[in-house]
């Protein structure tokens, strides 16, 4: 759902609004509410977040966060249309980039893009809008983006300044960022989580 008004809100005004469920994103001066996750989306999000954290967090390599707000520029910082605040389905941050507060704990506010952004397509969700968010992340430092399509049983892999790759063969190991190379996941493994 897109909310619009005569005068677009600034990013600062948007961030002062109460959080919504499902989350709303601020893109080019517009507030766009994400779709409510459904069964397949929720399963894949939960299982993949757990897999990444189990494989990378104990060795202080990276940490995966479900539905984490990431706020950072989209272009000119002087324009209301030049900033974004998005909520990837899974945002993965390398340990050395995790923002911390004055107590040394993980910060509540992330003003940087994730190192790896993962989106899971929901029924009736705009693939174009989700792809734009992934491309935006790549432009500002994200190393890899995944767009998972549960209905088509495929994963679109995005990397900076490279062609999009589509993975749909059951036994092929999905690419991950270099620092996550120990994660070995195939399409069969990923969509196997959906089996009862």
| Lowest mean pLDDT across 23-27, 39-43, 187-191 | 23-27
Domain ranges of the chain: 37-192
Q: What is the pLDDT of residues 138-155, one digit of tens each?
A: 999 999 999 999 999 999
Q: 37-192 has which fold?
A: tt1808, chain A (3.90.1570)
Residue 81 is predicted with a pLDDT of 40
Query: pTM of the predicted model, to two decimals?
Result: 0.88
d(CA 111, CA 129): 21
Strand order in the sheet with 70-73: 2-3, 30-33, 24-27, 83-86, 70-73
Which token pair is 19?
């959080």
């Amino acid at each position: 759902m897109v909310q619009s008004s005569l005068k677009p809100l600034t990013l600062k005004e948007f961030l002062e609004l109460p959080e919504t469920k499902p989350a709303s994103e601020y893109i080019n001066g517009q507030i766009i509410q994400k779709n409510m996750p459904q069964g397949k989306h929720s399963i894949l999000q939960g299982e993949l977040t757990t897999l990444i954290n189990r494989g990378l967090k104990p060795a202080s390599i990276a940490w995966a966060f479900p539905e984490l707000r990431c706020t950072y520029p989209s272009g000119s910082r002087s324009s209301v249309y030049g900033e974004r605040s998005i909520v990837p389905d899974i945002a993965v941050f390398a340990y050395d980039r995790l923002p911390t507060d004055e107590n040394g704990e993980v910060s509540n506010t992330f003003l940087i893009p994730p190192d790896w952004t993962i989106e899971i397509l929901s029924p009736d969700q705009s693939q174009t809008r989700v792809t734009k968010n992934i491309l935006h992340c790549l432009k500002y430092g994200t190393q890899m983006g995944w767009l998972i399509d549960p209905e088509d049983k495929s994963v679109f892999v995005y990397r900076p300044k490279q062609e999009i790759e589509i993975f749909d063969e059951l036994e092929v190991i999905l690419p991950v960022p270099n620092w996550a190379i120990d994660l070995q996941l195939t399409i069969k493994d990923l969509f196997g989580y959906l089996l009862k």
